[in-house]
Amino acid sequence: MMESGAPLCHTCGEQVGHDANGDLFVACHECNYHICKSCFEYEIKEGRKVCLRCGSPYDENLLDDVEKKGSGNQSTMASHLNNSQDVGIHARHISSVSTVDSEMNDEYGNPIWKNRVESWKDKKNKKKKSNTKPETEPAQVPPEQQMEEKPSAEASEPLSIVYPIPRNKLTPYRAVIIMRLIILGLFFHYRITNPVDSAFGLWLTSVICEIWFAFSWVLDQFPKWKPVNRETFIERLSARYEREGEPSQLAAVDFFVSTVDPLKEPPLITANTVLSILAVDYPVDKVSCYVSDDGAAMLTFESLVETAEFARKWVPFCKKFSIEPRAPEFYFSQKIDYLKDKVQPSFVKERRAMKRDYEEYKVRVNALVAKAQKTPDEGWTMQDGTPWPGNNTRDHPGMIQVFLGNTGARDIEGNELPRLVYVSREKRPGYQHHKKAGAENALVRVSAVLTNAPYILNLDCDHYVNNSKAVREAMCILMDPQVGRDVCYVQFPQRFDGIDRSDRYANRNIVFFDVNMKGLDGIQGPMYVGTGCVFNRQALYGYGPPSMPRLRKGKESSSCFSCCCPTKKKPAQDPAEVYRDAKREDLNAAIFNLTEIDSKFKFYYDEYERSMLISQLSFEKTFGLSSVFIESTLMENGGVPESANSSTLIKEAIHVIGCGFEEKTEWGKEIGWIYGSVTEDILSGFKMHCRGWRSIYCMPVRPAFKGSAPINLSDRLHQVLRWALGSVEIFFSRHCPFWYGYGGGRLKWLQRLAYINTIVYPFTSLPLIAYCTIPAVCLLTGKFIIPTLSNLASMLFLGLFISIIVTAVLELRWSGVSIEDLWRNEQFWVIGGVSAHLFAVFQGFLKMLAGIDTNFTVTAKAADDTEFGELYMVKWTTLLIPPTTLLIINIVGVVAGFSDALNKGYEAWGPLFGKVFFAFWVILHLYPFLKGLMGRQNRTPTIVVLWSVLLASVFSLVWVKINPFVNKVDSTLAGETCISIDC
């Protein structure tokens, strides 16, 4: 079956089969999700008439055929099932007993279900048992075994479902989008065919800007063409993988927390994130927390020592009383009645004691912070008197310290705690360390050596676990055999604390997380946003999804791997894609050959022969020189060999975080977090989608994670600058979505549009700043960019404005976003566009042309004691100058326009209305910026005001003098006119 190349059903593992015409059977023509006829008929019989993967309705012709077949063969089928003695009947969600050999052989192939959860050793033992039975005698299953392996009704249900947006909300939304496209076409036809001769330069500039805005709108709008909602069922997950009296079968998860500067990212915030991870509602032996200290700060190390000690009290308290959230700082600061729904009499007493312990813990951590404010001349020393290895942050060895775990300290009740590991990778002069992406890749290797969980969840140091069941939410998708086979990661939305109610600077980013990401979930999946994401470790290793065709031995290996479509004919590829696939030929051939051995010849190869096969392949060129790590990459279900020695593993972990380990390997190129941009998150997710993986967006009712946002104006602009600069870097790199990843057609075209939008949006700053300047120019010169409107032109303008409004209203209707959030997003799009995005474009050009790299500044995460006190702080930055200048010249233009209208009389008030309307449009969008610039007590930096007034004044005076966009009047004609009227 494996050599035939036919696709396998994602539900039962059998061949999909063919329809009546002899073509490959396809149930869903939207996503081509592989499902065989038997599973499809079962779905229809159960009343599910939409695709489990994408939510699209099944073809009506197929539904009619199934209903006819069911009505005609109902009695025959019933008698056939009643006479069967097997437990291996082809029914969804039921795990078969692998010792039973079914005698049923029909057109759909062998109906026995393959249990994918069992390890290959278990399969081997069961196979040996089955081989000892006579072939003529049908195998019998003991009744007690049948009782044990038969799952409950709840466990047999899907762990997650997709339900699309209702048609009465989505159909009008799509219709308005198409209508708006038509109106835009007519609008641009009118604009281009009706130039303004008296101000041709202004007209031409405005038309170019409007065409770019329309292009940007298309890039932003169409990836939201097919939004979906998703629901997970944690109870079913527990019923399937946590049966009573048996060890938990849930997959292990490695948590990554990254931090750099403990003075800008306070240790107390990082500690709260770590504590929320250690107390998560998940089996303790399945959880490991790795903290990456990329600044090699002794303060971070000592604070983790205190955190590990406090966790011995905090973790059992959280689990005993099921409190939420499990970050103590945010739990104790809740303004709620904590006695509500707490029935344990001892809760009040224990909560008070725990709060007292936490306050003492805070005092100890804050004392460490105060001590670290001034570094001693001789450097820091540890308690035993030896110098701290990380005194030189740019030249220090790798450091690893395991605080908790199965061999470490237990909690105060004697129970095991999750592992807590401190990691600081080696740094030496002359080596490129790749900032956060390099630190994350180091954690991937360390965790693979020490714990090797099949899934990885990464969090920023300021994002704590707000929902203790968040990991279970992700496992409902990743561990679902129907959904999780080709899922590379599950992305959760970002939610934030400490933001004012009006969200002045759109810190919550609601429109992106609740509108754009829902739209992407209906295509190929949401983008990776850098935090709150659960990865499939195999996807980080550069492998393709299991649903891709398997490789064959010999010369066909690379060609089969490059195929992305489940057809026998090899799709065409461009030379670049063929070259990239050929570079990974050995790696993927090894993985797929090993899969064949595991599934087909597993009973004829022993451990030694398997290891010999692995050793013959060139993994070192891809993963680096570490046999322990290479062996871990071949364990699809994770885990560490039982015979492994802990001290040996620690030495190997130190080796894999060496500064030279990644030299001449594929790390950062094809494996792990991808290098080449400060926004490594977008680039890494893009590479996975190009390989054929898809991602899932999970939005539980209680937010999974919450973080601290940089809410003051200056920090917010610097944050946006970093994101925009990363997008510009990707635009100028070989990974630009305009030309990368076309081979094989693995990236859907709507998904490509979304990625193109993420790298193009900073360039909108150029037409945006020009368009925001045009109203002031029109008011100062008395000219306008639009000629006198006819009735048809008026209808076009009115239709365009109405379509914009209706599109927004319908988008709010299906997404649930408030109109205030939409308006804040629109305002900050203008504020960021004329400031941070503009600087990002110029810095990107400088880096590309002159090689001038800009340093990434870590945004401060601490806030003042006063609530929202940081919101009113104004810090000097050059990013404040362009929007301030635009504000001043538009205000000056409005004053000049009204003054001119007063001088010319009532006839000038009509043309003034359009000019003032556009000027007020700019001022209203920049109003949050103006409010933030003034601060709480008008403490605007003097240099900002001086520079802005100076630029606005010079611009206005030079404009009036030069007036370049207005047609010049011939002086001779003017003279003749004067003579003719005897002036």
Q: Which residues are known to be catalytic?
A: 294, 681
Task: Say if residues 965 and 201 touch (Cβ distance below 8 Å).
Answer: yes
One-letter-per-residue 3-state SS of 521-536: HCCCCCCCCCCCEEEE
Residue 168, number of CB atoms within 10 A of its CB: 9
Backbone torsions φ then ψ of 435, nearest 5 degrees: 50, -130
Who's near 826: CB < 8 A, 6+ residues apart? 925
Burial of 360 (0-12, 13-18, 19+ CB in 10 A): exposed
Paired sense of beta strands 287-293 and 253-259, if any: parallel
Helix intervals (H) in 266-387: 267-278, 298-321, 328-332, 347-371
What is the SS3 assignment for 711?
A: coil
- Helix or strand (DSSP H, E) at 401: strand 399-404
Q: Is the dihedral of CA 642, 643, 646, 649 positive or negative?
A: negative
Choose among 709, 752, 775, 722: nearest CA to 923. Answer: 775
What is the SS3 assignment for 290?
A: strand
Task: Say if residues 726 and 856 touch (Cβ distance below 8 Å).
Answer: no
Beta strands (DSSP E) in 683-783 are 694-697, 705-708
DSSP for 146-212, written as a single string: HHHHSPPTTTTS-SEEEEEPPHHHHHHHHHHHHHHHHHHHHHHHHHHHS--GGGHHHHHHHHHHHHH
Residue 629, number of CB atoms within 10 A of its CB: 22
Q: Is the dihedral of CA 416, 419, 422, 426 positive or negative?
A: positive
Q: How many whole angstroms separate alpha carbon 418 and alpha carbon 412?
A: 14
Task: Say if residues 220 and 825 touch (Cβ distance below 8 Å).
Answer: no
The angle that helices 167-193 and 200-221 make with each other, rounded to 10 degrees, is 160
Q: How many whole angstroms separate alpha carbon 701 and alpha carbon 472?
A: 13
